[in-house]
Amino acid sequence: PSHGRIPLERESVFTVLGALTTSVLDTARYLDVAAGHHPIDRMSLPRPDQSYEKLAESLDVSGLRVGWSDDFGYGVMEHEIVEIAYTAAEALISTARLERRKLELALETIRPLWRRLVGGRTWSNLCQEGYLPDRIGELSNVPQQSLLAGAKLTIGEVYEIERRLSKLRRDFAASFEDIDVIVSPTVATEAFAAAGPAPETIDGRDASNTGPAPLGFIANTCWNPAISVPAGFTKSGMPVGLMITVPQHRDDIALRLARLLELARPWPLTAPLQC
């Protein structure tokens, strides 16, 4: 959801609370129940005066301008993932009667810097609560690296990261001057083992600075609503997502478009049985 749509117990400029659901209407209902201002979160938004569940079924989105991006200008993506997501995007554009527009995103690759900044803040919080540094060994490799890198940040480095994040927000906001909706793959590669490690080479190219999920953090940074919906399966049977990103506070558009795709291309609501 939009940043502030769901109030937080502890304020954060990057964190939003959402829910994994099996259907778009379940997601909309979650927002209807949980959305609204809370006095302990100064950034929380007023309670919407309309039902997201109803809007997901009725909002008129025809004619909205849509742009496709493979990689936001920096992601290292698997060709198969892009191809499957693009096919789903074409179905959505046709079903929702959207107006296709050319989109050339060329955002800066700052995911490693973002992770260091988030890691530094999390390190400080967990140290104050007594979990770190003594229990750092209980974490897996990726969060360990992020926390340890964040712990070494200097004031000057924090300032530089914030400056570059500010530029990223301006650049991304500018893309919505001529576009109402951005559609893209959700992640860069098919699912890997939960135990890790995350792949650093994708499609034969170095992805150490972008990782397997290079695009999602943009919504956290820029406060845009974004929703991932099933787009299809890879040849090996792994699911692929299509990400729909919309302007700030237009959660209703994201939900309606996701719902239209769900109606046009229903996805299974249960995992396949394994022998």
Instruction: Locate the domains of the chain by residue range.
Output: 106-173
Cα dist. 81→87, 229, 241 in Å? 10, 14, 8
Please compute the mean of the pLDDT values over residues 246-250 and round it to a whole number: 97
Q: What is the pLDDT of residue 273?
A: 67
Q: What is the pLDDT of residue 141?
A: 78
Q: What is the pLDDT of residue 27?
A: 97
Q: Provide the residue type at 33 as one letter.
A: V
User: What tokens were used for 3?
Assistant: 């940043």
pLDDT digits (tens, 9 = 90+) for 96-132: 999 999 999 999 888 888 888 989 989 999 999 999 9
Please compute the mean of the pLDDT values over residues 220-246 and round it to a whole number: 96
Q: What is the pLDDT of residue 275?
A: 52
Give me the half-sphere count of Cα atoms (radius 13 Å) on the Cβ side of residue 178.
Answer: 10
Class of residue 179 by CB neighbours under 10 A (exposed 0-12, middle 13-18, buried 19+): buried
pLDDT tier, 253 (very low <50, low <70, confident <90, very high otherwise): very high
Q: What is the DSSP letter of 126?
A: H
pLDDT higher than threshold 70 for residue 274: no
Please compute the mean of the pLDDT values over residues 174-187 and round it to a whole number: 97
Q: How far, rounded to the nearest angstrom, does the alpha carbon of residue 37 sit from its chain's CA centroid?
A: 23
Give the 3-state secondary structure of 134-189: CCHHHCCHHHHHHHHHHHCCCHHHHHHHHHHHHHHHHHHHHHCCCCCEEEEECCCC
pLDDT higher than threshold 90 for residue 91: yes
